[in-house]
Amino acid sequence: MVLCGLFSIIKEITTKRGDRMAFLNLEDKQGTIEVVAFAEPFTQARELIAGDEPLALWARVQHDEKSTKLVANRILSMQEAGLQAVDSVHITLDAVRMDRDSLGRLRHLLMAHPGECRAVLHLAVKDKGEAVLDLSKLPVNPTHSFFEDMRLYFGPDCAEPMYKNSD
């Protein structure tokens, strides 16, 4: 389960093994729910939780006779959560407008934003269809900066993130 909202620490404790864990509140527009954050997810997200920005929570639901709680698996910033959810980037360009310089510029942009996300190039030919090229040898980091650079050089809506199916 993935939820987003503002976190606050209710109680922070030390486990028998000496690790820090916490009971948190996750609040969104619908209400508040308690989240149990054991040592690893709590330690990794402690600074984020102390801030005042909304965060994304990956958790499993735990029911008992008194309450329902969420047990945290991961807590990430919204930006980091968005990046982790991108499966591939699809780039659509007009084949007629593409020349050697444009292809070189595209290659340069892909290399300037290296990452692990697969890029797919769609060269569209008006009223004819498109050629689809897998650019898996040039994986990208689908950051805001990458999409801004693509818009700057190739126009709006030329690059689109494709998100993973949630489990």
| Cβ atoms within 10 Å, residue 138 | 17
Average pLDDT, the chain: 92
CB contact at 8 A, 6 and 57? no
Q: What is the pLDDT of residues 91-106, one digit of tens each?
A: 999 999 999 999 999 9
pLDDT category at 166 given cuts 50, 70, 90 is very low
Query: Which domains can be identified in the chain, with CATH numbers?
Result: 2-81 (2.40.50.140), 86-163 (no CATH)
Q: What does the DSSP 8-state code read for residue 155?
A: -
Residue 14 token pair: 């030390």
pTM to 2 decimal places: 0.60
105 bridge partner residues: none
Q: What is the pLDDT of residues 16-35, one digit of tens each?
A: 999 999 999 999 999 998 99
pLDDT category at 167 given cuts 50, 70, 90 is very low
* Predicted pLDDT of residue 27: 93
Q: Which residue has the tokens 């780039």?
A: 91
> Rounded to whole angstroms, how far apart are CA atoms 59 and 115?
26
User: In angstroms, what is the C-alpha Rg of the chain?
Assistant: 21
Q: What does the DSSP 8-state code read for residue 99?
A: -
Q: What is the pLDDT of residues 37-84, one digit of tens each?
A: 999 999 999 999 999 999 999 999 988 888 888 999 999 998 888 777
